[in-house]
């Protein structure tokens, strides 16, 4: 019955994304408020049979950018697509139809003008980020806000045990962009 509300396996779904006033911390400089914009694309990979059902989504591409007078362009982009777990889109209620979508993200953060000068910084999240909306009434989303489930620590790609920054919140507004 509700399976007709879920996207079919194999479908690729592009979405536009933006997040305003994101608290982005660089340890030596403090917190910056950045506005990110960009998009993502997912592909429906398989079904979820547990609970009320759902589908598993594979993130196949995303990039969000923000401009800062101090940091220059800050870019969040997809890291290794093969190691990131699939993201569940789960049916949580049948009347009315309600979905929970937890996007699992591994990414690289590029800071064009790092503190103290020198070459740009390439950072990565130290653990997989979870961006969730648990009150979706339609999928693909239309103007739906996804929230970061916990702050994400950032480390240099070649020094993963040294935290140099953090994304405190990431209120991402997502809309299907056919």
Spatial distance between the Cα atoms of 148 and 133, rounded to a whole number of angstroms: 9
Inform me whether the pLDDT recorded for 156 exceeds 60.
yes
Residue pLDDT, tens place only, 108-123: 999 999 988 899 999 9
**What's the burial of 161, exposed, middle or buried (CB within 10 Å: 0-12/13-18/19+)?**
exposed
Q: What is the dihedral of CA 20, 78, 92, 177, to 10 degrees?
A: 70
CATH of residue 96's domain is 2.40.160
- 14-37 pLDDT per residue, tens: 999 999 999 999 998 999 999 999
Torsion of CA 158, 159, 160, 165, to 10 degrees: -110
Is the peptide bond prior to 31 cis by the omega test (within 30 degrees of 0)? no
List b or e across 98-115, with b for residues whose CB sees 16 or more CB atoms inside 10 angstroms.
bbbbbbbbbbbbbbebbe
- Tokens representing 141 are 């989303």
Write out the residue range of the structural domain in which residue 134 sits: 2-7+14-176
Residue 3 pLDDT exceeds 60: no
Domain count, the chain: 1
Task: Give the lowest-confidence range in 3-7, 26-30, 91-95, 129-133.
Answer: 3-7
For the entire predicted model, the pTM comes to 0.93
The overall average pLDDT reported for the chain is 94
At residue 78, the pLDDT reads 95
State how far the Cα of 160 lies from the Cα of 165, in Å rounded to an integer: 12
Give residue 1's pLDDT.
42
């Amino acid at each position: 019955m509700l399976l007709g509300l879920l996207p079919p396996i194999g479908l690729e779904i592009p979405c536009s994304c933006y997040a305003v006033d994101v608290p982005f911390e660089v340890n030596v400089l403090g917190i910056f408020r950045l506005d990110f914009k960009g998009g993502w694309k997912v592909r429906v990979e398989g079904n979820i049979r547990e609970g009320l059902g759902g589908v598993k989504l594979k993130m196949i591409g995303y990039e969000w950018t923000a401009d800062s007078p101090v940091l220059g362009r800050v870019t969040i982009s997809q890291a290794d697509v093969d190691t990131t777990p699939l993201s569940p889109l789960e049916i949580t209620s049948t009347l009315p139809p309600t979905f929970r979508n937890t996007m699992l993200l591994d990414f690289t953060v590029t800071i064009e003008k790092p503190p103290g000068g020198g070459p740009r910084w390439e950072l990565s999240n130290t653990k997989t980020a979870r961006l969730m909306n648990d009150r979706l009434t339609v999928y693909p989303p239309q103007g739906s806000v996804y929230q970061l489930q916990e702050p994400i620590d950032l480390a240099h790609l070649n020094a993963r045990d040294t935290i140099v920054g953090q994304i405190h919140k990431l209120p991402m507004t997502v809309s299907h962009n056919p």
